[in-house]
Amino acid sequence: MATNLNNPASNLQQQSILTLLDFSAEEIKQLLELAADMKNNPGAYYTHLAHRSLGMIFENASTRTRVSFEVAMTQMGGHSLFLSPRDMQIGRGEPIKDTAKVLSRYVDALMIRTNDHGKVEALADHADVPVINALTDLYHPCQALADLLTVQEQKGSFQGLKSAFIGDGNNVAHSWMIASVKMGMDAVLAAPEGYGPDPGVWKQIEQAAEQSGASVTRTRDPEEAAEGADVIYTDVWTSMGYEEEQAKRLAAFKGFMISEELTANAAKDYIFLHCLPAHREEEVAASVIDGPHSAVYDEAENRLHVQKAILASVIS
């Protein structure tokens, strides 16, 4: 796709990226193809976003998201601005509408990381530039695209694969399940009682699976989910904002740690994914995350290449 530098993904230009539910399998494939080309031929894109700017609104801490977006803009000749609520009037009560309208006059796209998905939707409704969801309480689409790129690299194809998410039915689980079924993988989510996915989001996942022909199931048995799995994914059991529930969650998730015993009946060449940061010997055994099946560092690197593809596609 490097031959079309002026318009790498024309059908995505000026389109906000809030959730992968809004995208077809073909559009996701297009982003993955572009990300792969950017990874293999970075020099072809060094000036693609010259004189373009990205406003980055962060309402919670970040390592991979902030660094990958900043480096992505730099490697394509653009510029990024880190914006925290304490440095902006939005932190003092300025309406989102006003913030969106004003920032749209300055930058070519906005990225936001926040706990409230409604805030991302409101920002997109009022902004005159594309808005990228860099994480909310419901979705993490950029992470899921990096996950897909990693699976594509490791497996060559999504067809015939079984994807298992074992752990908290959170935003990462939502987006990974959406990504899995959109690309035709059979997907299963294993979570203990009381920690399953959001009911409304799960209904959307089932609808996406029906459209793609993939199967999607839920279970409370991590061994059932891991059996025959080609991809096993987990996340921390206590996400940001839920620290006071840690002891309760540790008890509820007993038996859900991704261990060598749990993965014994997975596909022999399964790969392990984790969005990071990880708590070794909590949600995953050190022997798994640091072992031969782990692709977590490739997955983390792919955040950069996916962010580049997203930015090049939505910024005109």
- Output the CA angle 46-52-57, nearest 5 degrees: 115
275 is catalytic: yes
Q: Which residues are annotated as a binding site for carbamoyl phosphate?
A: 62-65, 89, 113, 140-143, 275-276, 303
Q: Which are the contacts of 268, defined by CB distance < 8 A and separation ≥ 6? A: none
Q: Which residues are annotated as a binding site?
A: 62-65, 89, 113, 140-143, 171, 235, 239-240, 275-276, 303
Pick the catalytic residue from 48, 52, 113, 249: 113
User: 69 is written with which tokens?
Assistant: 């977006």
Q: Which are the contacts of 279, defined by CB distance < 8 A and separation ≥ 6? A: 236, 237
3-state class of 199 per DSSP? helix
Q: Cβ distance 37 to 312 under 8 Å?
A: no
Pick the catalytic residue from 168, 303, 305, 307: 303
Dihedral of CA atoms 33, 34, 36, 39 in degrees, nearest 10, equals 180
140 is catalytic: yes
303 is catalytic: yes
Pick the catalytic residue from 275, 293, 305, 307: 275
User: 219 is written with which tokens?
Assistant: 């279970």
Pick the catalytic residue from 48, 52, 117, 140: 140
Q: How far apart are CA 132 and CA 301, in angstroms?
A: 19
Q: How far apart are CA 121 and CA 9, in angstroms?
A: 23
**End-to-end alpha-carbon separation of the chain, Å?**
17
Q: Which residues are annotated as a binding site for L-ornithine?
A: 171, 235, 239-240
Q: How far apart are CA 316 and CA 301, in angstroms?
A: 25
Pick the catalytic residue from 143, 249, 305, 307: 143
Cβ neighbour number for residue 211 with a 10 Å cutoff: 12
143 is catalytic: yes
CA 99 to chain centre: 25
Pick the catalytic residue from 235, 293, 305, 307: 235
Catalytic amino acids?
A: 113, 140, 143, 235, 275, 303
